[in-house]
Chain A
Amino acid sequence: MAGAGREERAWVRGAQAGSASDLEALFRHHWPGAYRAAYLVVHDGAAAEDIAQEAFLSAVRALDSFDRRRPFGPWLHRIVVNRAIDWTRARALRREVGDEQLAVAPSRPETPPDDLSNEIMAALGSLSPDHRAVVVLRYVLDYSPGEIAELLELPRGTVNSRLRRGLDTMQERVMREQS
């Protein structure tokens, strides 16, 4: 997994010693992945920002006690993805809005995505939060199924089946849209 190297350990060590610049380096390195992962699970910009932000605030609170031998990324991503799943479930319970309405690309993209990308995003939005989470961990954050199983505390078989089923569902949806 990216970011688990010597440089990251140095940033953690520096931040523990009180260096704001090292903390910022750690933040800038991990923010894009954390925000993207949260957004792709919740499909809500404001919620994704809150979730990723909260995860970093948790990291600051736990900084003194963080074991530098452990990679920072998985610890952060575990918090982000689990909170994102919780948020999505809670939203579904509140019935504020349907997923279908949120499964579109956000406003004002810098470069217009092609149709297929839009359809893939929409297909991702059609999955359950649990399926979305494993797809995002696998294809955005590059975790192996074994690592995802550890992060989400799931049996590896469950992760594999969610990945397979998630991709199948997305593919069916994309093909339906294209036909």
Chain B
Amino acid sequence: MSERVRQALRQAPLPDEAGAADRAWALVERAFESRERIPWAGKRRGPLVALVAAGAIAVAALTPPGMAVVDRFRDAVGREPSQPALVKLPAPGRLLVLSPEGPWVVQEDGSKRLLGDYEDASWSPRGLFVIATRGHQLVALDSESGEPRWSLSRTEPVRDPGWSGGGLDTRIAYRAGDTLHIVAGDGSPDAVVADGVAPVAPAWKPDSHVLAYADAAGHVHVFDADTRRQLWRTRTVKGVRELAFSGNRLAVSTSTRVVVFRRGEPTPFLELPRGHVLLDTAIIGFGGVLYADYDPRNDSTTLFRSDCTIAGACRLMPDTRMFEGPGRISNLVTSPDRAWITAGWPAADQFLFFESAPRRLGKVDAVSNVTAEFSPGGEAGGVFPEIAGWAPPPS
């Protein structure tokens, strides 16, 4: 039977097979030619940008902030040939890149230094230090020399260290098992501030000592780290994966949606089509949001810029498709001035650098061969590195 099925299905006549091929080729060829002529974003966007400017405030009142319509979009970004190596950063500052060997500090001129055998890591607010973990240890390192400044140990494995802003009096939040700790920037004192926390990185409100964390029951708590007073708490959000502040608002992301909370009041912001996966989000300039929408059925990721800002203002146009490629594209990290956004693209072995203009994404620079670059000895089959943060230039 199976051979007969094979034969019948392969020989079954199709409707206008030759005509269909010719019509499709004509379209594909046109798309290919226009792709070759696609300029960097900007040329085709003048009227749209004007419309954005004119309509933004009025539309904010008319359009519910939320619910991206991802089947309507427009292409907005061209691209240039990738660079074979990370020879310089497109913007001032330094990158912190995590590889299996440990965290690397990449300077603006592309030179880089391996800080040592650590796991998680993140920048201090001004980039003078890196806070890193190694098993049960939390270690503060000098970002230039890699010298440890202080360390402390816990009985549980230490994860997700994050350094607050707020002037010289800084705090570091981290998880040890399912407890949340806060320690002063100089290494003491250290205190447990919550139990039963979810395995989600806590998030500091910029330039403050206000911290958000998710508990195992799905509530997100926002509290003042100095007074230990809870400021507000959300209702249950299932499957919290990421927390990020923009001003007074907190964006809570799951694998399919983003909800924005202001003093505990939720506003649905984004919901992906069924079956799609939200890989990552980044808050870009002016409270805009870039998000990575992975479609497992096509094994491809599309980076969209939301039509709404975290603050609730929406533009007239639907979400803008900025970039698309096979495999997973995520690890969205903004530069200190939010003028650039990086993304990691393991399938292409590339880091992507997008220029972010006030109401659009500009050009994209791609850097190839990053796995080998962050694997001493350049062994094949290494692990694709992760961008952990982008710090300002040394002051």
Chain A interface (Cβ < 8 Å from any Cβ of B): 15, 18, 20, 23-24, 27-28, 31-32, 35-36, 39-40, 45, 48-49, 52-53, 56-58, 60-67, 70, 75, 78-79, 82, 105-107, 109-111, 113, 116-117, 120-121, 124, 135-136, 139-140, 153, 167, 170-171
Contact = CB atoms under 8 A, between A and B. Distances in A.
Contacts of A63: 32, 35
A135 B6 CA distance: 9
Contact of B23 (A49, A139, A167): A49
Given A75-B326, A78-B299, A153-B297, A140 B345 contact: no
B53 interface: no
B33 A62 contact: no
A108 to B, nearest CB: 8
A18 B34 CA distance: 11
24 contacts: A20-B29, A24-B29, A31-B25, A36-B9, A45-B15, A45-B16, A56-B24, A57-B28, A58-B324, A61-B35, A65-B324, A65-B325, A67-B348, A70-B326, A78-B299, A105-B13, A110-B13, A111-B13, A120-B9, A124-B9, A135-B9, A139-B2, A139-B5, A139-B10
Nearest to B24: A53
Contacts of A58: 298, 300, 324
A45 B24 contact: no
A109 B14 CA distance: 7
6 closest A-B pairs by beta carbon, nearest first, are A45-B15, A109-B13, A65-B325, A82-B297, A120-B8, A106-B15
Contact of B297 (A57, A78, A111, A140): A78
B31 A60 contact: yes
Contact of A66 (B4, B298, B326): B326
B296 interface: yes
A28 B20 CA distance: 12
Contact of B345 (A32, A65, A106): A65
B25 A27 contact: yes
Nearest to A26: B28
A79 B296 CA distance: 10
Contacts of B24: 27, 31, 35, 49, 52-53, 56
Contacts of A107: 15
A113 B27 contact: no
Interface residues of B, number: 44
A78 to B, nearest CB: 6
Given A82-B298, A121-B8, A135-B5, A65 B326 contact: yes
Given A28-B21, A78-B299, A171-B1, A113 B13 contact: yes
A57 B33 CA distance: 12
A57 B30 CA distance: 10
B17 interface: yes
A62 B296 CA distance: 16
B296 A153 contact: yes
B295 to A, nearest CB: 9
A117 B9 CA distance: 8
B28 A140 contact: no
A94 B6 CA distance: 31
B155 interface: no
Contacts of B11: 113, 117
A67 B326 contact: yes
